[in-house]
Copies of this chain bind each other. A is one copy, B any other.
Amino acid sequence: MTANIMNKGLLIVVSGPAGSGKGTVNAHLLNSGEFVYSVSATTRAPRPGEIDGINYHFITKDEFKSRIERGDMLEYTEYCGNFYGTPKKEAEDVLASGKNLILEIEVEGAQNIKKKYPDAVLVLLLPPSYSVQEARLRGRGTETEEKIRLRLERAKEEIAFANVYDYVVYNRDGLDREAAEEIRAIVTAEKSSVSRNPHIAENYLNN
């Protein structure tokens, strides 16, 4: 991905722990038409109702490994014996079209993206506080106490890496549209930043 492509659309990483409401916030961004969500590739089997090319690109392990070798993955991770990753070509096409690409990945993937693409914008979406997060997870009533504890422990670990990110956005109860607007504002600001626009004077004087 060249600097030229990065100048068109923005590569935005949105990470958020369980209970941050990441899915809802990202859905608002997609509905605005200025953002595209990256469809990940995975080697795990489709679950009932999942559609190839919509929920995931379902591919074999051999295919995934050869894509890694060819450098065709923007980032990838292994989890419970399966690979998950972002196809590079698809990401490049989105950015070249001028749309902003959202990657919904965890803190480790976010760090890898920032190393490879310093121009990427890293946003950490958080519940307003740990106590609200806990209340949200328990309020779902769908998970075992053990799973809730694991998720909360994981969230504590993740927040220690907050300084990896460029921005923190809090998703307050019932204010997920506002959180999405805040992410849109971040994108607007980043596109106006002098550091992303190196030829201000030349462009201005020649037009």
Query: Which one of A26-34, A64-72, A78-86, A193-201 contacts B?
Result: A193-201
Per-residue CB proximity of A139-181 to B under 8 Å, as 1/0?
Answer: 0000000000000000010011011011111000000000000
A186 sits at the interface (CB 8 A)? yes
Interface SS of chain A:
helix
- Our pick among B126, B160, B194, B200 for the contact of A166 (Cβ within 8 Å) is B194
Give complex CA distance A50, B200 in Å: 36
Give complex CA distance A201, B126 in Å: 11
Task: Return A49 CB to nearest CB of chain B, in Å.
Answer: 34
- Contact check, A204 vs B169: say whether CB atoms are below 8 A apart: no
A188 sits at the interface (CB 8 A)? yes
- Contact check, B165 vs A194: say whether CB atoms are below 8 A apart: yes
What residues of B have a CB within 8 angstroms of the CB of A162 in the complex? 194, 200-201, 204
- Contact check, A194 vs B182: say whether CB atoms are below 8 A apart: no
- Contact check, B207 vs A129: say whether CB atoms are below 8 A apart: yes
What residues of B have a CB within 8 angstroms of the CB of A194 in the complex? 124, 162-163, 165-168
- Our pick among B131, B189, B193 for the contact of A188 (Cβ within 8 Å) is B189
Offer 26 A-B interface pairs, CB within 8 angstroms, sorted by A: A124-B200, A126-B204, A129-B203, A130-B204, A159-B201, A159-B205, A160-B201, A162-B200, A162-B201, A162-B204, A163-B194, A166-B193, A167-B189, A167-B192, A168-B194, A168-B197, A169-B192, A182-B188, A184-B185, A185-B185, A185-B192, A186-B188, A186-B189, A186-B192, A188-B189, A189-B190
